Structure formats: structure tokens, C-alpha cells
Structure 1
Amino acid sequence: MKPLKILLIEDDTIEVMKFNRVIKTLEMNHHIVEANNGEEALDILMAKNETPDIIVLDLNMPKINGLEFLSILKKDPVLKYIPAIILTTSNNYKDVLECYKIGIAGYILKPLKYEDYVSRIQKLLDYWACNELISE
């Protein structure tokens, strides 16, 4: 499986550390670019230095929240094709529905147990690492 370029949009430092620890523990060779909020992520994407293969984001963030970020992303003629996966604690059905209406590629709840978190992240990244939508 090829290494992914992942844009991780998460304002919680602990969650960012946890995500990175999973990548390291599982010895995955993915490249992660971190953004603290949707505004910072848009700056990274608009710079067009490196387009990520996937975007993993939280819904509840300051400045531009996850839904606002997705709405902006999906209006861009190039960026709208980047698969965006929600990784959040919100199991609010309205959030899930709204995200799929906007055009997300997945919605994953952050589990309480670390082992479950590791398992979900591994499955998520294994899937996208072998998905044919991702170009070399």
C-alpha cells in the first residue's frame, strides 16, 4: 500500500498526538500535515504546495467548523474531489446527515477505548491507501 498524504484538521492537541501515535505504532508510512482549524486548513490547501490524498477532520472547531469547512471545500473545482472523512465525538444524526449531503467520504465516531480508536484509524487508512481514487 502506498503512503498517504493526510491533512488532519483537529484543534485538540491530545487528539492530534493520539492520531500521530497510532500512525507510528502501526508503522504506517503516511505523511501528516496538521491544521488546528478549518481556516488554517484552507490556507494550506489554497497554497497548493501539496494536495493531500485524504482529509481527516473534526466537526467541532473554532473559527471555521467542520461543516463550514466542508461547504467551502466542496465548492472548489479541484479540492472538492479530495475525500474528506469526519472523525468526531458527535453522534448527532443531523450532523451525520448534513455531512453526507455536503459530500463526505466517511463519518467515524471517536471511540472511548484507545484500542478501538487504533482499530478504526487502521481500517480507515488501510482502505484509503489501496483505494483507486487516489492518484500517484
Structure 2
Amino acid sequence: MSEDRTMNILLVEDDEVDVMNVRRAFDRNKIANPVYVAENGLEGLRMLRDGTVPRGRRLVLLDLNMPKMNGIEFLRAVRQDPDLVGLSVVVLTTSNEERDKVDAYKLNVAGYLLKPVTFTNFVELTSALNKYWTLVEMP
């Protein structure tokens, strides 16, 4: 029996253009992983906890600047939840603030990526990210 290697991706992002760019970049790179979208940290937590994002192999792509619950608040909640503490989270943000980077890494993010300005660079970034999560052994 083969093990299901599907990576369920939760994109926590409030900007519709950025959501569209992620989906288009995934399509361009032929990344077929299911993508679930939450518009803020509260919705993202709910989707992880209620099984909207299937349990098993999950990766969160997290924006930091969002309403209701920002990315750092989301990370704190994830790291305090015994069911989510080991979740792999990659920050994907426009914030180049040193404080945000320090806070994110203190909360054990798997990476901190700046959103590229051009779509071509966004496609390259998602390609690299796809290679990363296919090579890394994630639970």
C-alpha cells in the first residue's frame, strides 16, 4: 500500500491579488497540491482545527499583515496548540522588517520569504518552494 504524499497547503492571505498570484504560479509550475485559503489568522486556525484542511501532511503559507489576527499572532496560537505545534509554516510576506523576521524565527517558521514584485519571480519562488517540500521529509 502506498503512502499518500499529498501536501495540503493552507494559504493564509487577505489580499485577493496575492491569492490569485499564488494559484497562477502553482498552475504555471504544475503544482497540483490542494490549496485552501483563509483570509486571516482566525479563519486559518479554524480551518486547521476543524479539518477543513485535511490532517496529515500540511504546510501553511502565511502572510503577516492581515486583519483580525495577524501572522505573528497566528504563529503564537499554532505553537501553543498541542495539535498544531509541529505544523510547518513558511512566511510569505511583503514585510522586510527585522522585528518581523526575528519574531517569526523565534516561533519556529520553516522559512521567511519576501513576496517578489514580478509574477515571473513569484513563479520562480513557488518552484523553489515546491522543490523544498518535495525533498524535505515532512510528517
Q: 1:38 aligns with which of 27, 36, 41?
A: 41
| Equivalence for 2:88 | 83
Q: Is the 8 A contact 1:3 1:28 kept in 2?
A: no
| Equivalence for 1:61 | 66
| Equivalence for 1:4 | 7
Q: 2:123 aligns with which of 113, 118, 129?
A: 118
| Equivalence for 1:101 | 106
> RMSD between aligned alpha carbons?
1.2
Unaligned runs of 5+ in 2: none
Runs of 4+ in 1 over 4 A off after TM superposition: none
Q: Is the 8 A contact 1:3 1:129 kept in 2?
A: no
Secondary structure of the structure 1 residue equivalent to 2:72: helix
- The two structures have a TM-score, normalised by structure 2, of 0.90
What is the identity, as a one-letter code, of the residue corresponding to 1:80?
A: V
CA distance in structure 2 between the partners assigned to 1:79 and 1:41 by the alignment: 12
| Equivalence for 1:15 | 18
What is the identity, as a one-letter code, of the residue corresponding to 1:79?
A: L
Shift of 1:74: 0.5
What percentage of residue pairs aligned between the two structures are identical? 37
Q: Is the 8 A contact 1:22 1:118 kept in 2?
A: yes
Secondary structure of the structure 1 residue equivalent to 2:105: helix
What count of residue pairs does the alignment treat as equivalent? 133
- The two structures have a TM-score, normalised by structure 1, of 0.92
Shift of 1:130: 2.4
